[in-house]
A and B are shown apart, each in its own frame.
Chain A
Amino acid sequence: MAITLSGDQSIPAPPLSPRLTPAQVWGIVLLAPYLLVFLAFVVYPVCYGLWLARAPSNYVALYNDPIFARAAVNTLIFLVIGINIKMLIALFLSGFFAQQRPWIKWLSVIFILPWAVPSIPTILSVRFMLNPEWGMVNHFIFSFTGDDGPNWLNDPTVALTMAIAVHIWKSLPFWTLILITGRLAISHDLFEAAEVDGASWWQKFRFITWPSMQTLYVTCTLLSMIWTLGDFNSVYLLTGGGPADLTHVLSTLGIRYLRLDQLSLAMASIVCAMPFVLPLVYFMMKRLSR
């Protein structure tokens, strides 16, 4: 059987008639399991949640809750500062890992570990490292300087910074990997030509690498921002929202309200994030479903 791979013709759509062809019947049958899951576990919960959050009093209560305002600011810091730092490091490291060296190949295998292992044991490991009395970090500070180290997780600014660091530790390998594939797709001839012309590494980056990668880079940054909104583990497992509920982000705050049995407040806090999330989601869908 010879199969020609040329051409991009697709099966002409059958005329829409009230009688479905057997293939279409099968199509509907095969699509049904996902549709059922979607209706039962996405549509129903979302509608139910919105219905719970319908009362304006919820939003007044949120507005008056200082923890909510703090969580919103923390989330913004997390997204705007944390993600951009992460993506810049990922962009830089993708250049490093694109170098052809046996030891760099081995390092890239190790580098993926944070992404491959589950987050809970490693985040708890970091949590203990930062323990002021028993943790390894303060032991080191003490043995080098003779001073007691800071109480890392007891200061809201430091604690949030550490949560961002944990987030970066966990997800940096994934984004680096994607940016590496983007980098390797650039034709090598361009770099050779630039080499002949005596271009500096910055000129090579500025005029070859960046123009071919900027779309991918922006897509990755936006996607990472959307997902980081849902990063519950980095904050919850490291600081638990503390000290004094000052390091919450929106995802942990929703769960906090839930555990306090204030479900409508939990939903309202999520609804408040939607004006920021939905445009990003819409933009991403436009980009990906072309």
Chain B
Amino acid sequence: MKLPGVSEFSWRDVATEARLLLIGIPVFLWTMIPIYHMFLFAISPKEDAFSGKLWPDHPTLHNFEIVFKQQHYFLRDFYVQFWNSTLIAASVGVLTLFIATSAAFSISRLKVPGGRMVLNLALFTYFIPAAFLAVPMYRTMGNYGLLNNHWSLILAMVTIASPYAIWVLKQASDKLPVELDEAAVMDGATTLQIFRLVYLPLMMPSLVAIGTYAVLLAWNEYLYAFLLLSNDREITLPVALGNFLAADDSPWELLMTTGFIYALPPAAVYYAFRRYMVGGLTAGAVKS
């Protein structure tokens, strides 16, 4: 069978393709090396991991077994910490969605007085680097008596996730035709009915994107988690990973294995919702 394009073979196309490959291969290597290195450690026995080989002589899943059976000093609370991460990420997702959706509906659809100002304040918070807010936030959580309590991290992450969430949802709400609300009002719908029956269903794609954004933000957070939580059974997985470094002879192969397990869920979620993420988030992220 003759392939289309083969007959139009030309050296010019080959040169273009070669030039593209010359960019593509370094990009691939640059992207994959740290991730491959992590994977390599996860499947290597300790001796192989430290010998700098590109593929271990005896690839093994033993490291995963140690992690899943919690057979190391650093891993004795692995399941509790995994659960903490999950619970906190889920709570942040739900709370952010609730707060941001109501605020966006209020500002965009109900045109609440002062809504514009609240939006600007939120936008301002969005631009303040989170690491700067971390210092006073730490002290504030202490004043509220929430340190070492999951609520401190949940509330802190909701504070950080909401501004962007409100902003993106507000942009999306503005695109819905006002006639929808007017028609619903004509039919005698109350405000809450409009919110529940008209607004929420139409906003679904944006809500999925924002929910995913908030969940990933909370799951990935390191700085706030390690400031606000310290008790071994309260901390989240990233803090536990950071604690590996406290020892001089850290079991790096176990650290990388745990890190690999920790990195899988967000990567899976990201790829599952990529369609929404790219459409919903990049469009809102930077308006030219």
Indicate with 1 or 0, residue by residue over B21-54, a CB within 8 angstroms of chain A CB atoms.
0011001101111110110010000000011100
- Grouping DSSP codes into helix (H, G, I), strand (E, B) and loop, the A interface class, with mixed when no group exceeds half, is helix
Known: A219-B286, A226-B129. A34 touches B103 (CB 8 A): yes
CB-CB under 8 A from A136, the residues of chain B are 37, 52
Per the 8 Å Cβ criterion, residues 113-151 of B in contact with A are: 113, 115, 118-125, 127-140, 143-144
Give B118's nearest chain A residue, CB to CB: A31
Q: A173 to chain B: which residues have CB within 8 Å?
A: 31
Q: CB distance A254 to B124 under 8 Å? A: no
Quick check: is B110 within 8 A (CB to CB) of the other chain?
yes
The answer to whether A125 touches B140, judged by C-beta atoms less than 8 angstroms apart, is no
Chain B residues with CB under 8 Å of A4's CB are 177, 179
A232-269 CB mask vs B (1 if < 8 Å, else 0) is 11001100000000000011101100100001001100
Q: Is A145 an interface residue (CB 8 A)?
A: no
- Choose the segment among B4-12, B59-67, B72-80, B153-161 that binds chain A (4+ C-beta atoms closer than 8 Å): B153-161
A128–B244 Cα gap in the complex (Å)? 13
A49: chain B residues within 8 A (beta carbon): 135-136, 139
Tell yes or no: B275 within 8 A of A by CB.
no
B81 interface contact, C-beta 8 A: no
**Closest Cβ neighbor of A14 among chain B residues:** B111
B158 to chain A, nearest CB (A): 6
A134 in contact (CB, < 8 A): yes
**Which B-chain residue is minimally distant from A143 (CB atoms)?**
B52
Cβ of A60 < 8 Å from any Cβ of B? no
Residue B260 lies at the interface, judged by CB distance under 8 Å to chain A: yes
B151 → chain A, closest Cβ, in Å? 11
Decide if B210 is an interface residue (CB 8 Å cutoff).
Answer: no
Looking at the assembled complex, report how far the CB atom of A50 sits from the nearest CB atom of chain B, in whole angstroms. Answer: 8
> Which of B112, B125, B156, B177 is A31 in contact with, Cβ under 8 Å?
B112
Contact B137–A45 (Cβ < 8 Å) = yes
Most buried by A among B136, B158, B219: B136
Task: Tell me how many residues of B have a C-beta within 8 Å of chain A.
Answer: 101
Using Cβ atoms and an 8 Å threshold, which residues of chain B touch A118?
219-220, 222, 238, 262-263, 266
Distance (Å) between the CB of B214 and the closest chain A CB?
13
Q: How far is the CB of B39 from chain A (nearest CB, A)?
A: 9
Whether B197 sits at the interface, judged by CB under 8 Å, is no
A: which residues have CB within 8 A of B? Answer: 1, 3-5, 9-11, 13, 16, 22-24, 26-28, 30-31, 33-35, 37-38, 40-42, 44-46, 48-49, 52, 93, 96, 99, 101, 103-104, 107, 109-114, 116-122, 124-126, 128-129, 134-136, 138-140, 143, 169, 173, 177-178, 181-182, 213, 215-216, 219-220, 223, 226-227, 229-233, 236-237, 250-252, 254-255, 258, 263, 266-267, 270, 273, 277, 280-281, 284-285, 287-289
- Name 16 interchain pairs, CB-CB below 8 A, sorted by A: A10-B111, A26-B110, A26-B191, A31-B102, A33-B103, A34-B100, A42-B133, A125-B41, A128-B256, A178-B286, A181-B282, A213-B288, A223-B127, A229-B131, A280-B127, A285-B120
Residues in B lying within 8 Å of A, measured CB to CB: 20, 23-24, 27-28, 30-35, 37-38, 41, 50-52, 98-100, 102-103, 105-107, 110-113, 115, 118-125, 127-140, 143-144, 155-156, 158-159, 162, 166, 177-183, 190-192, 195, 219-220, 222-223, 227, 238, 241-242, 244-245, 252, 255-256, 258-260, 262-263, 266-267, 270-271, 274, 278, 282-283, 285-288
Given A111-B31, A116-B271, 13 further pairs, Cβ under 8 A: A1-B183, A9-B178, A33-B98, A35-B118, A38-B125, A49-B139, A110-B28, A112-B274, A117-B266, A118-B238, A177-B282, A226-B127, A277-B128
